[in-house]
Amino acid sequence: MEHLCFFCNYARPDGFDPTLSQVPLKDRPDIDRWILSDLQKLVALAHKSFQTFNAMAFCLEAERFVDDKLSNWYVRRNRRRFWKSEKGDDKDAAYQTLYEVLLTLTKLFAPVMPFLAETMYHNLVPGAQERGDSVHLCPYPEVNEALRDDTLSADMDALLDLVSLGSAARNTVKIKVRQPLAELKVQTSQESVRRAVERFGDQLCDELNIARVTFLSNKEFGALVKTNYTADAKISVQRMGRTWERSTKRFRLWRLLGRIRGGVGHGDRREQLPLGPGRED
Q: pLDDT by residue (tens digit) across 192-248?
A: 888 998 889 899 999 999 999 888 876 665 566 666 767 676 776 677 776 766 777
Tell whether 77 and 194 lie within a shared domain.
Answer: no
* pLDDT band, very low/low/confident/very high, at 264 (cuts 50, 70, 90): very low
The residue out of 147, 182, 205 marking a domain boundary is 147
Residue 164 predicted with pLDDT over 70: yes
Q: How far apart are CA 170 and CA 161, in angstroms?
A: 14
Tell whether 88 and 200 lie within a shared domain.
Answer: no
Tell whether 170 and 264 lie within a shared domain.
Answer: no
Range of the domain at 6: 2-147
Domain assignment present for residue 280? The answer is no
Tens-digit pLDDT profile for residues 60-89 = 999 999 999 999 899 999 988 888 878 888
Tell whether 14 and 96 lie within a shared domain.
Answer: yes
91, 82 Cβ separation under 8 angstroms: yes
